[in-house]
Structure 1
Amino acid sequence: MANHTQNNKMNSFGLTLTALCCVVLVLGGLPFSSDAQLDASFYRNTCPDVHSIVREVIRNVSKTDPRMLASLVRLHFHDCFVQGCDASVLLNKTDTVVTEQEAFPNINSLRGLDVINRIKTAVENACPNTVSCADILALSAQISSILAQGPNWKVPLGRRDGLTANQSLANTNLPAPFNTLDELKAAFAKQGLTPTDLVALSGAHTFGRSHCSLFVDRLYNFSNTGKPDPSLNTTYLQELRKTCPKGGSGTNLANFDPTTPDRFDKNYYSNLQVKKGLLQSDQELFSTSGADTITIVNKFSADKNAFFDSFETAMIKMGNIGVLTGNKGEIRKHCNFVNKDRIRMASRDSSESAMVSSI
């Protein structure tokens, strides 16, 4: 998709911080919730096998679709960026819900909704009406990271599911792949997330894939100049042009990390150092003159443990944004519908079935 207008860019918001990623990440007006009553052992007595149940489903899926691991990390990001980590991104369109799945950053972009539903079914069979979809998203991100040889952290649990979605916030609050560093930092700062959090969470782009539509302007018409992005490595530019031809559909996939595309490691940062960041928003972290993020990129490139530690801290911090606990929200029986809508639809379907059988 060459020669994009700004409107076209808006239609390609979906970032794979990548997942997500784009990775990454804001919540409109919902600050980090430092007093959320979450606990890694929340389900110790009520659903002690929840972690192993989630892991088994994801492990089986990843055998045939290794890309799914990055997609599930990104799905957690896209949930927490809008209304907090309340599983609002999972809600389908109904008479009362305007789904976030049809927001520009998510449409034809989100992956893993079916996997979350498979996990929810398995969890419900073991522990009915106990584990929230929001917690399943948080656990899925952690387990996906581990399966990709990445960081491991204790996931604070006890979230409840929200009762609505917010498509307009998804449209305005999720960062775009062409955001500048100042725009990314401002979005993070609103949520109490630091530049170190920004660089660490962006590191989720060390695995997974992105559609060409999210970065093709950099290859042919950067900032409407008719030329490629000068911050792109010229050899890498030619490789990407083969994957994403000028005037193509934009649906081809490119690896975020051309070296180890399915492994969660620190190569994302060494790629930035040699101008091989896939998205503009990736390369901005290192190529913005005088930026304080350059030092952080260099640190993470040199020290995997420093990156992993910062990623774990940032994921826990992000996972606490705007959470619902206690008597707020609900435990959804089906992740795609609030319980009220699910009961209403089941009643309607039963009524329609009875009508058919009586004819």
Structure 2
Amino acid sequence: MKLKLKYLGFVLAIPFLFIYSCKTQKGKFEFVNPKSGSKVLKGEKLQLKLNFNDVAIDSVVYSVDGDIFDRKTDTTAVAFDTDKHGYGNKRLSAKIYAQGKEDIAYSDLLVVPPAPKAYAFEVVNTYPHDSTAFTQGLYYDNGTLYESTGKEDRTSLRKVDLKTGKVIQKIDGDGTFFGEGMTVVGDKIYFLTWLNKKGFIYDKTSFKLIKSFDYGKSAEGWGLTYDGKQFIKSDGSANIYFLDPVTLQETGSVQVFDDNGPVDRINEMEYVDGKLFANIYDQSKDEVVIIDPTTGVIEGRVNFVGLYDGVRKSADNEMNGIAYKSDTKTFLVTGKDWTKLFEVRLQIR
């Protein structure tokens, strides 16, 4: 069920720029530069030009997403600095006053960062992994793995011996929720559910439930990590959300971008040295992206296709689960129902 719903969300998320561009007004005046639907690198300085059709104008007011940034009383080009307005879809508008009337022209831009760096990986170790563990969250702590698993009938929170793959401690869900991402902070484990809009806090040692919490306005819970000051949550969209460390309520969000625009299906995450390492939920490829959480920019990509040579029992055996071993500066990665867990070292190509 999860697979179908997640992909339905993806289908509905038809590139926003295309839909938005269809609304571009075609009137007496129109943008010559930039053409609506253009993609530009952040930092580019554009010269905005309009076709005024030889109409004598009184003034022009230029705005981006409704915020005025320039006014002119002639038809000369206007400078637009993309560096001042962030990433994503931007609607430029020019309100023209002429002959006692007003008209408006639009142009829609997609402002993107440079292409991410490509990372290679080296397999350092291979460990056994429970083939019935539908992995959703992974966290490493001094030789022990904490793992959360999903599907209503297989949801669990478990403590696992890294080297043997044996489950040391485990609690199962009650069948009413689908387990998702998890992280450990201090002596507590924070565990999300998928569609119930709830999370749970457990004692790290006893696995005793301390309390539940509502995880905010977003409809779904996917991945969860902690940056030392706040929690960061994903919901399968192109957004990541910041949660208050005490109340776990949303305090803000940022959209994730690469050089082609918004990137959705952000799944399990691990915060390492100021960056987010995140699985992308995808049947066709095993991929981790490296995100700057302050800007949402994807700075790197790791293609793990070919890492796992085990038999995938169904289409729902995507790579998921990433943890960091700070003592060796390596990552632990696995997937849903995979029979193996891999320790890898990343290298820029």
Report if TM-score (shorter chain) is over 0.5. no
Q: What TM-score do the two structures reach when normalised by structure 1?
A: 0.24
Normalized per residue, which structure has more strand?
A: 2
Structure of higher CA gyration radius:
2
Normalized per residue, which structure has more helix?
A: 1
Q: What TM-score do the two structures reach when normalised by structure 2?
A: 0.25
Structure with larger RCO (C-alpha < 8 A, sep 6+): 1
